[in-house]
Amino acid sequence: MRELSVYYNDIEAGILTEKHPGTGYTFQYTEDYLNSKMPPISVTLPKQSTAYNSEYLFPFFSNMLPEGANRKVICRSLRIDENDSFGLLDAMADKDFIGAVNVRRINNDWN
């Protein structure tokens, strides 16, 4: 299981989880973010207390990734499978993304 923390304007909004490579994904807003006046991170992911589940990486997060030749070059240089969208998102974590939403690695003791 891999997880990334999702931020909206430097405020933690939720956790994106890949259950097992290629078998499903969840996005769960944090309790603090749900209770804040901050907007949802996307119109396709409105604020709710229950987790969102998807068989595929949510399009909102997929759209944050490079495409085409840029994706190939980045994946080759980082030795990431081009089909591993979550792995690419993880590799790009803690870097600048365009827009208000950013992803960051979670600092767990086992990382």
Domain boundaries, the chain: 2-105
- Quick one: angle between helices 68-78 and 85-92, nearest 10? 70
Non-local (6+) Cβ contacts of 110 within 8 A are none
pTM of the full structure: 0.85
16 dihedral zone (left: phi>0; alpha: psi -120 to 50; beta): beta
Mean pLDDT of 42-50: 95
When pLDDT is cut at 50, 70 and 90, the band that residue 23 belongs to is: confident
When pLDDT is cut at 50, 70 and 90, the band that residue 31 belongs to is: very high
CA distance 85 to 74: 12
Question: pLDDT digit string (tens) for 63-102?
Answer: 888 888 988 888 888 898 888 888 888 888 887 777 889 9
